[in-house]
Structure 1
Amino acid sequence: MRIFLISLALLVGCSRLGDVGQTPEFTPVDTGNEVSAMANPGLPETLEPDRAFDRASLWSGGRHSLLGDRRAETRGDILTVVIEIDDKAEISNSSQRSRSGSESMGIPSLFGIPQRIDERLPEGATMADAVSTSSASSSAGDGSVRRNEKLTLRVAATVVNELQNGVLQIQGSQEVRVNFEIRELIVTGFVRPQDISRQNEITYDKIAAARISYGGRGQITDVQQPRWGQQIADIVLPF
């Protein structure tokens, strides 16, 4: 077991030594779903015979005309996703409860029986106050949650699939490298064609099943993350 752990530590350490002094590499752009959607678009639309000349008309409503609708609508098209998140939540709860009770029971006289019993009881004991109980309980709790998030971004996304009901599945990614740090932005989800504006833009709140990731990788991110040994210890150790 010890040899296995040492070998694993050396393997992980050596795999990271190649990044020393090197800038982080970009993710290849020619192997993702976006390029596949643009390289293999959907089936071409069929034009009716009497509308075959609409493509050449200046005033037609086709996408290829001067005044045509240029919004994304088919597989391989590109649109702009506008992310403007400004969320603020504040929740505060307070609860308090108290309860008290008291009970007593005695037999001062019952045909002289308590007096007879008192003679046999230890000194100071009497049946006059046979039973006396009291109880008290109280509880209080306070809780609060405060969160503030603000994010403003714009990213180009590609229509990677068109569902049978006309909903478009989009996926977009963006990477910017500054010195030895790469900033990554990834967005995926499903949009309705009618929600896309005339500027070929859509806001994040109109994306169903939206998945937005904003982070980075590089030297600064490595310093901010705990070492893998510490992460394992945090999970395994019960204290």
Structure 2
Amino acid sequence: MRYLLLAILLLPACSKLGEVGKAPAFSPVEGSYQHHAMYSNPMPAFAEPDGPTEASSLWTANSGSLFGDRRAGHRGDILTVVIQIDEKAEISNSSGRSRSGSQSMGIPSLFGIPQRLNEKLPEGASMGSAVETSSDSQFSGEGSVQRNEKLTLRVAATVVEELPNGVLRIEGQQEVRVNFELRELIVTGYVRPADISRQNEITYDRIAGARISYGGRGQITDVQQPRYGQQITDTVLPF
């Protein structure tokens, strides 16, 4: 039993031994939604517009022309997602509450009944003040939140699905490796074709259900993270 527990604890560490002395590996593009969308539905060749056109005219209706619409609109198309987050939030709350009350009830006289009951009550007790209660409660609370976020990024995303209502589901992933540290950016969400600009770009605030992940992995990230034993201890111990 002891050896089994030790093997379970050392299993995550053993998986890291293969990365010692090596740079973080890129995530494979093959098998992803982007690769499948572009592989199964390649971009078609530019088609000639219907109807006669003048040989000297610069205007054509296809996307390959000078003034054609080059915006993404089909599965496998690529567009640029512009992420410019500059938000600041500051919230401060303070509340207080206090309450006090007292109640008393007695029967000084009622056809002589209280006087007869007083003879049977313990010494010092009287029906004149049979019940007397008092209460006092106080509460106070304060809270504050301060947050400042600023992020400016651009990433290419691929249309991986066309929904029946015309909305496009996009997914973008970008990885940059510097020495032994890998920076990773992931963007997913749903966009309307009408929100895509003529430059084939869309801002993050027009992406419904946006999921934006910006982080990294590598030697520096590993050093900044607590060890596995400490993480397990923080999760298991109730105090």
Same fold (TM over 0.5): yes
Tell me, what secondary structure is at the counterpart of 2:229? helix
Residues 2/44 of structure 1: CA separation in 2 closer, same or farther (3 Å cut): same
Whether contact under 8 Å (1:171, 1:189) holds in the other structure is yes
What does the per-residue CA deviation read over 1:87-117, in whole Å, with 9 as the maximum and x for residues that have no partner? 2222222222222222345666778887788
What does the per-residue CA deviation read over 1:198-223, in whole Å, with 9 as the maximum and x for residues that have no partner? 11110001111111110000011111
Whether contact under 8 Å (1:89, 1:148) holds in the other structure is yes
Whether contact under 8 Å (1:54, 1:62) holds in the other structure is no
Tell me, what secondary structure is at the counterpart of 1:62? coil
Residue of structure 2 in register with 1:198 after alignment = 198
Residue of structure 2 in register with 1:134 after alignment = 134
Residue of structure 2 in register with 1:92 after alignment = 92
Matches within 5 A, 1:42-61: 50-51=50-51, 58-61=58-61
TM-score (norm 2): 0.83
In structure 1, how many angstroms separate the alpha carbons of the residues matched to 2:163 and 2:8? 45
Residues 122/64 of structure 1: CA separation in 2 closer, same or farther (3 Å cut): closer
Offset of residue 5 of structure 1: 1.6
Matches within 5 A, 1:116-155: 131-155=131-155
| Unpaired segments ≥5 residues, structure 1 | none
- What is the aligned-residue RMSD (CA, Å)? 3.1
In structure 1, how many angstroms separate the alpha carbons of the residues matched to 2:66 and 2:18? 52
Segment drifting more, 137-146 vs 16-25 = 137-146
Residue of structure 1 in register with 2:41 after alignment = 41
TM-score (norm 1): 0.83
- Number of residue pairs aligned between Structure 1 and Structure 2: 239
What does the per-residue CA deviation read over 1:54-105, in whole Å, with 9 as the maximum and x for residues that have no partner? 9996311210212211111122221110001122222222222222222345
Segment drifting more, 105-114 vs 227-236 = 105-114
Whether contact under 8 Å (1:42, 1:74) holds in the other structure is no
| Unpaired segments ≥5 residues, structure 2 | none
Give % identity.
70
**Paired AA for residue 96 in structure 1:** G
